[in-house]
Amino acid sequence: MCGIVGYAGPQGAAPVVLDGLSRLEYRGYDSAGIAVLDGGRMRSRRSVGPVENLRRTLPEEFSGAVGIGHTRWATHGPATRENAHPHRSQDGHVAVVHNGIIDNAAPLRAELAAAGVEFTSDTDTEVLAHLIAHLVARSPAGSLEEAVLDALARVEGTYGLAVVDDRRPDRLVLARNGSPLIVGLGDGETFVASDLAAIVRHTTSVVHLEDGEFATVTASGLRTFTRDGVTTSRPPVRVDGRSGHRELDGQGHHMRKEFLEQPAAARDVLRGRLDSRLGTARLDGLNLDARALRAIRRVKVIGCGSSYYVGQVGAQMIEELARVPADAEAASEFRYRDPVVEPTTLYVAVSQSGETVDTLFAVEEIRRRGGQVVGLVNVVGSSVARACDGGIYLHAGPEVSVASTKALTNMALAFALLALDLGRVRDLSIADGQRLVEALGRIPDQIQRILDDEGEIAGHAEELSLASSLLFIGRVRGYPVAREGAQKFKEITYRHAEAYQSSELKHGPLALVSPDLPTVAVVPDDELLGRNVAALHEIAARGGRLLVVTHPGVDVGGLDVRRIDVPKSEPELDPVLLTVPLQLLAYHAALELGHDVDRPRNLAKSVTVA
């Protein structure tokens, strides 16, 4: 959510910042802006819409060795040029880009207004620009660092912040509290970003700022320091250069490129982790030996949005295979309800980006209360990954499309591995373990077979795109699949799509059923098939149209309905495969409706505000 880029060095800030911003656009694309320091002169530009609009407004001569930029996802105030970052102080000397939310912006704003500041935007960030400028003016040495420290001592909220001052034209000052900032070290140049994707093509040597940490960045490197101004030592780490690969590789959309990558991604998450002899999974990164695994009495999964729905799939797998009570909860709710944290519960945080602030804060809260947390995270070295005690990296590769696909599939597979591991140190038999290991090994090819049916699925999508409202139904294993199907559909088609347990239809939603409201029914071939087919009859008898997502050869009660046949796995793993055609349905329906599939309105890839 919102992206920050900064640069100090000989390449000139504008091209590096603009390139970085366009790589971060998936985090927010309401508006964008840039400020550069050319010697003692600051110039800034802001514009509404994508980074390309900003690029077009820049005069040819927009040079400067130091600069900051921002791509915004609106929180305070609509997406207008005035609300876009950078925000400049009234005296024009200071410019600020900010991710996060300043909770006490209103009283600070009133105080500054009383001191004569005229505000030009509705944002909380503008408060920071004026506050810092006031404090620079008051500081005897005119120190930007001191002013930032003093300003932030008065601020409540979350921030990843980059500040420039034209009286200190060689530097950027950074501060982090709850919103990531990364500094990339080059040869005589230094890069700043809220997300590796923006800078990894320039350097793979990076420093992740910690919460409560500050930094001064110049072309020759960085100095990190604490709230008390004490210098800290932060050796750089090497990151994987491939994490910056964000090209379309000939595909029209990132979403399509990414769902087509699923067979390869699935192989990557399973690689080296399946033990067919012992029928178990090898998960060294969990940092839990057999004894520690056996001591776990309960599993609680936390995540947001689609990751939470996959968490429900995972909790069910764990309960089924390990017979350990398990459930999933939205991380955004969990941390606000004063949860009981038990030392014998294993908390599992699940996140593609590893930067979703609700998930991150929930992890921090659990750890503060003495709980142990492992992460199922895609982005290596991300905040959630670093905050956990151990985990399973998803190895899905970079995901750019706002609507997540391959990372979710890999989450479900990682949960299957975890369930297997937990099960085999308990009562799951070796035969069952081997059955599941073999089935997991077949999944990448089975996903490929679903993708090969894209044309047929697109035909169903065309019909569904005509409806203004849809139901997605499933029960037990099928229910989280239905939830994710509805989520993907509404996210990119803007159609109303609602998921229900098929068992709950009679308790209310059946009243909605009519020929105008299609139902997508997830019907695995498992012990609940008869119950699922009964629900299909209830809908058909009321004139409802059905699209049934099931397996080849499954008799759907003799009903003449449209269907998508998904290869059959073992029942415990079927949700992994049943989800895939629902991604394609949403994608093709959105295309049919002419939407920007990769950048759905009002959303951003990584939700870094609570």
CA-CA distances (angstroms) from residue 152 to 103, 127, 133, 146, 446? 12, 11, 12, 10, 53
Q: How far is the CB of 576 from ligand F6R (least distance, A)?
A: 16
Check if the beta carbon of residue 269 is closer than 8 Å to that of residue 408: no
Lay out the site mask for ligand F6R across 328-367 (x = CB under 6 A, - = otherwise): -----------------------xxx--x--x--------
Task: Name the DSSP letter for residue 242.
Answer: G
Cβ proximity to ligand F6R, 194 vs 352, nearer residue: 352
Any contact of residue 382 with ligand F6R (CB under 6 A)?
no
Q: How many residues bind ligand F6R (CB under 6 A)?
A: 15
Least distance (Å) between residue 358 CB and ligand F6R: 8
Q: What separation in angstroms does the CA of 166 have from each of 13, 144, 351, 479, 579?
A: 14, 10, 39, 56, 53
Tell me if 259 sits within 8 A of 583, measured CB to CB.
yes
| Beta carbon nearer to ligand F6R, 20 or 305 | 305
Contact window for ligand F6R (CB under 6 A) among 171-179, 304-312, 415-423, 583-591: 304-312
- In one-letter notation, the amino acid at residue 493 is T
Which of 22, 83, 307, 316 forms a contact with ligand F6R (CB under 6 A)? 307
306 binds ligand F6R (CB under 6 A): yes
Q: Does 404 bind ligand F6R (CB under 6 A)?
A: yes
If binding is defined by CB under 6 A, does position 606 make contact with ligand F6R?
yes
d(CA 591, CA 593): 5
Residue 520, SS3 per DSSP: strand
**Beta carbon nearer to ligand F6R, 177 or 306:** 306
Separation between Cα atoms, residue 84 and residue 45, nearest integer Å: 9
The two three-digit tokens of residue 591, written as one number = 């295309």
- The answer to the question of residue 123 lying near ligand F6R (CB under 6 A) is no
Q: Closer to ligand F6R at the Cβ: 407 or 422?
A: 407
x-marked contacts with ligand F6R along 486-515 as a string, rule CB under 6 A:
-x---x------------------------
Instruction: Quote the tokens at residue 446.
Output: 């089975």
- 304 lies in the site for ligand F6R, by CB under 6 A: yes
d(Cα 92, Cα 34) in Å, to the nearest integer?
A: 14
Asked if 383 is part of the footprint of ligand F6R (rule: CB under 6 A), the reply reads no
Q: Which of 510, 610 has the CB closer to ligand F6R?
A: 610
Cα-based distances in Å from 475 to 413, 497, 529: 20, 17, 10
Return the active site residues: 2, 605
Residue 15: count of CB within 10 angstroms of its CB: 14
Q: How far is the CB of 404 from ligand F6R (least distance, A)?
A: 3
Q: Is the CB of 204 or the CB of 352 nearer to ligand F6R?
A: 352
Q: Which residue is nearest to ligand F6R (CB)?
A: 305
CA 110 to centroid of chain Cα atoms = 35
Nearest distance from C-beta of residue 113 to ligand F6R, angstroms: 36
Residue 485 near ligand F6R by CB under 6 A: no
CB 384 within 8 A of CB 354: yes
The angle subtended at Cα 157 by Cα 153 and Cα 161, nearest 5°, is 75
Length of the chain: 610
Judge contact between 405 and 413, C-beta under 8 A: no
What residues make contact with ligand F6R under the rule CB under 6 A?
304-307, 351-353, 356, 359, 403-404, 487, 491, 606-607
